[in-house]
Amino acid sequence: MYKISVVPGDGIGKEVMDATINVLDSLDINFNYKYNDAGDECKEDCGYALPEDTLKIAKNSDACLFGAAGETAADVIVKLRQEMKLFANLRPIKSYPNTNALFDDLDIMIVRENTEGLYKTESEEYTDEGAIAKRIITREAEERIINYAFKYAEDNNKSKVTGVHKANVLKKTDGLFKDIFYEVSKNYPSIEAEDYYVDATAMYLITRPKDFEVIVTTNLFGDILSDEGAGLVGGLGLIPSANIGEHGGLFEPVHGSAPDIAGKGLANPTAMLLSAEMMLRYLGENTEADRLNDAILTVLSKGETLTPDLGGSSNTKELGEAVKNNL
């Protein structure tokens, strides 16, 4: 019996979470769900975007499933990642059938540093002239994430890791990142190491994305490149993510609360379902993870029950039900 903290959050977060829990309930695993609030609505109701209780239960669970927050995202998900010390953010960019993917055979893993960089919100401040944000790069955190990326490559039969930075301009912070990247790479002689500037990478992801296998980068760059990656494979409705630390894992779609489609049943639950699959693998439940992945692939391949973002006319619940029926 796994203790799972479930935080649906705002907007379509709730809708894709409902569809996903419905599918998880059909697997041969027992979950004990602890539902907790967080996000914009929660802040309106109780004054806090991330109540202490939500954080405490997330910390004391075997894994956490998160839907999406709205305008309070920085106070909710960024804080959860930092408070739970979930240093590695894994964002797979993978092509699926019937998804209007620009490329039909991509399989890239973006490994994003999750705890520092420009996203340490407490180090942003107003000044007399305007405002200022500090970009924090520590040797410890960068070594940890780069090691994680190379280890990931080794464990998953990948042959290359690409370090992405802007060391020509950010000479100190990204200069350090680049140095550490090549230092760490020496411990993995069988994995090729290459590095690019982030602006060039943004272009290469469009002109020759198949050359990438594992990308490791700092917090903000990883956030942006993963949304670009989503665009390459058919949109945000398809991109899951895992946040992994030494003592915890939190699994969430890359997308936000999507106020433009919230409450209409239009949201694609695939990203949330694939996030649940990543959770199952984290828990060591690979057989059930494979079963879930097969069912998702079957539904997408058949193309009969697709949400509007994929050109279909089914709703969130119907796509979820279809996955459940194909387990």
| Contact flag: residue 305 with ligand NAI (CB under 6 A) | no
188 in Cβ contact with 147 (< 8 Å)? no
Q: Is the dihedral of CA 99, 100, 101, 103 positive or negative?
A: positive
Give the one residue of 62, 71, 154, 228 binding ligand NAI; rule: CB under 6 A: 71
Helix (H) or strand (E) holding 165: strand 160-165
Taking the least distance from each CB to ligand NAI, the nearer of 70 and 209 is: 70
User: Would you call 126 a catalytic residue per the annotation?
Assistant: no
- Of 40, 75, 195, 223, the active-site residue reads 223
266-305 positions binding Mg ion, by CB under 5 A: none
Taking the least distance from each CB to Mg ion, the nearer of 6 and 78 is: 78
- Based on the number of CB atoms within 10 Å of its own CB, is 104 exposed (0-12), middle (13-18) or buried (19 or more)? exposed
DSSP state of 136: B
| Contact flag: residue 73 with ligand NAI (CB under 6 A) | yes
Nearest to 99 by CA among 289, 209, 234: 234
- Binding part of the chain for Mg ion, among 6-14, 192-200, 217-225, 305-313 by CB under 5 A, reads 217-225
Give the one residue of 5, 257, 275, 315 binding ligand NAI; rule: CB under 6 A: 257
**Structure token pair of residue 182:** 């090549």
Nearest to 138 by CA among 112, 154, 116, 155: 116
| Contact flag: residue 65 with ligand NAI (CB under 6 A) | no
- Of 48, 62, 227, 317, the active-site residue reads 227
The binding site for ligand NAI (CB under 6 A) comprises 12, 16, 68-71, 73, 77, 236-237, 252, 255-261, 267-268, 271, 309
